[in-house]
Amino acid sequence: MTDLGLELTAIHKRFGDNHVVRGLEIALARGEIVALLGPSGCGKTTALRMVAGLETPDSGTITIAGQTVKSDAVDLPPEARRIGMVFQSYAVWPHKDVRDNVAYPLKLAKVADANARADRALELVRLAGMGDRFPDTLSGGQQQRVALARALVAEPSLLLFDEPLSNLDAKLREEMRHEIRVLAKQVGITSLYVTHDQPEAFAVSDRVAVVLGGVIAQVAPPSEIYARPASLAVAKFVGRLSILSGITRVGASRAKVQGFELDVTSATDATDVALGVRPEDVRLTDAGIEGRVKRATFLGERTELEIETEAGVLRADVAPGVAPDAESSVRVALDGGRLYAP
Ligand SMILES: Nc1ncnc2c1ncn2[C@@H]1O[C@H](COP(=O)(O)OP(=O)(O)OP(=O)(O)O)[C@@H](O)[C@H]1O
Ligand SMILES: [Mg+2]
């Protein structure tokens, strides 16, 4: 028995001239949650649909819990892949009550105790006792729980999520992403979770796979993706980033900006480099790089600054009480950064 929950090997997909998925490779351990994070149109949904068997790859191999479901020789239909799916649109049937909605996949397969199992799945998603309600009497969050219960009810080998929280308001989204993670871990089902929302990808997953241009640019735990992006493209997509030029490299892990030296990490051996800096590495100080506040945006718990310097624009967060006004002259120190090939 393999310990892989899902493996994609050399997956390609074209729609006409549009080469959307360009050699996708990823392996998930059993029970692992991986988020596919990438900009709109990068091929996330297409990748998920190929795993589900709703779209056919041009080439490549897909293996779910040790069973090959797609290769040159094999092409299992969706219902034979042991998958549960949750989409952005809840896709609940309005004319069926909640229990029937959840039990439907089991009834389709003529499972005897479908209703009892549906009730257990409803308990898992904290909708116990709501089996007789109809979807139009439920909130959006509750409807998405019904969809989640339906994905879980047949005890699949793999859960696929495609932007499942996009229709919910911000507060509910935060709650649900936590809940989905806890639930997936509790049932121990390998999960592939598609989103273009970086905080959501970080909150829900064990590892994040950043998809850019139809390939995985980097796959790593959230903290590593954030602190050590493999390239400038990944760094730009994950979190806020300031990019400074005119940097002198001083050895492997030091750099000089406008006459000030700092410790850095590095994604490149090149001498011609750009410096990527996160807001938390930018500090207002008395003696540092000269800058001018271009914009100060009050956001409640913090004020976001854009500070123009000769090396580029620096984004910084400061406490609202000490925020300088727009147009003031300031000095900034950098506490860290990462070097990239520009
Ligand atoms: N059935 C199809 N026929 C033709 N082109 C398609 C088809 N499905 C997807 N595409 C194209 O493939 C590309 C990737 O689409 P996909 O839906 O996978 O992106 P995505 O990463 O999920 O984006 P989003 O974040 O907006 O959901 C897009 O350019 C899209 O127009
Ligand atoms: Mg999509």
pLDDT of residue 140: 87
- Whether residue 1 has pLDDT greater than 70: no
Same domain (yes/no): 155, 44 = yes
Query: What is the tens place of the pLDDT at every residue in 68-107?
Result: 999 999 999 999 999 999 988 878 899 999 999 999 989 9
In a domain, 234, yes or no: no
- Atom 27 (ligand 1) nearest CA: 40
Distance 21 CA to ligand 1 centre (A): 10
Query: What is the tens place of the pLDDT at every residue in 262-318?
Result: 999 999 999 999 999 999 999 999 989 999 999 999 999 999 999 999 999 999 999
- Atom 30 (ligand 1) nearest CA: 41
- Shortest-distance ligand to the CA of residue 21: 1
Indicate which CATH number applies to the domain containing 158.
Answer: 3.40.50.300
- Atom 19 (ligand 1) nearest CA: 41
Pocket residue to mutate for ligand 1, from 12, 14, 17, 18, most atoms within 8 A of Cβ = 18
Give the count of domains, the chain: 2
Distance 41 CA to ligand 1 centre (A): 5
Distance 46 CA to ligand 2 centre (A): 7
Domain that holds residue 21: 4-229
Indicate which CATH number applies to the domain containing 249.
Answer: 2.40.50.140
pLDDT of residue 109: 85
- Whether residue 168 has pLDDT greater than 90: no
In a domain, 35, yes or no: yes
Same domain (yes/no): 263, 202 = no
Q: Which long-range contacts (CB under 8 A, 24 or more apart) does 97-100 make?
A: 97/131, 97/132, 97/133, 97/134, 98/122, 98/127, 98/130, 98/131, 98/132, 98/133, 98/134, 98/135, 98/138, 98/146, 99/131, 99/132
Provide the 3-class DSSP secondary structure of residue 220.
strand
Higher pLDDT, 337 or 167: 337
In a domain, 132, yes or no: yes
Same domain (yes/no): 252, 167 = no
Pocket residue to mutate for ligand 1, from 15, 160, 192, 200, most atoms within 8 A of Cβ = 15
Query: What is the tens place of the pLDDT at every residue in 196-237?
Result: 999 999 999 999 999 998 899 999 999 999 999 999 999 999
Distance 159 CA to ligand 1 centre (A): 21
- Counting atoms of ligand 1 from 1, which one is nearest the CA of 211? 21
Query: What is the tens place of the pLDDT at every residue in 127-150?
Result: 999 999 999 999 888 999 999 999
Alpha carbons within 13 A on the beta-carbon side of 11: 27
Same domain (yes/no): 288, 149 = no
Percent of the chain past pLDDT 90, that is, above it, reads 89
- Atom 18 (ligand 1) nearest CA: 43
When mean pLDDT is compared across 15-24, 245-254, 275-284, the lowest value belongs to: 245-254
- Atom 17 (ligand 1) nearest CA: 45
pLDDT of residue 16: 96
Last residue of a domain, one of 167, 195, 229: 229
- Atom 5 (ligand 1) nearest CA: 15
Average pLDDT over residues 108-117: 91
In a domain, 58, yes or no: yes
Distance 70 CA to ligand 1 centre (A): 20
pTM value?
0.93
Last residue of a domain, one of 201, 229, 257: 229
- Counting atoms of ligand 1 from 1, which one is nearest the CA of 16? 4
pLDDT of residue 188: 96
Same domain (yes/no): 113, 44 = yes
Same domain (yes/no): 160, 273 = no
Same domain (yes/no): 162, 40 = yes
- Whether residue 2 has pLDDT greater than 80: no
Same domain (yes/no): 52, 195 = yes
Q: Contact at 8 Å (CB) between 64 and 72? A: no
List, in sequence order, every residue forming a beta bridge with 274; answer none if it has no partner. 340
- Atom 16 (ligand 1) nearest CA: 43
In a domain, 120, yes or no: yes
Same domain (yes/no): 160, 193 = yes
Q: Which two tokens stand for residue 315?
A: 């984004």
- Counting atoms of ligand 1 from 1, which one is nearest the CA of 49? 18
Last residue of a domain, one of 200, 229, 258: 229
- Shortest-distance ligand to the CA of residue 211: 1
Query: What is the tens place of the pLDDT at every residue in 29-50?
Result: 999 999 999 999 999 999 999 9
Pocket residue to mutate for ligand 1, from 11, 46, 160, 194, most atoms within 8 A of Cβ = 46
In a domain, 101, yes or no: yes
Ligand 1: lining residues by beta carbon, under 6 Å: 15, 18, 20, 38, 40-46, 196
Average pLDDT over residues 184-191: 96
In a domain, 181, yes or no: yes
CA-based end-to-end distance of the chain:
44
H or E element at residue 9: strand 4-15
Distance 56 CA to ligand 1 centre (A): 14
Same domain (yes/no): 187, 311 = no
Same domain (yes/no): 163, 111 = yes
In a domain, 235, yes or no: no
Same domain (yes/no): 53, 96 = yes
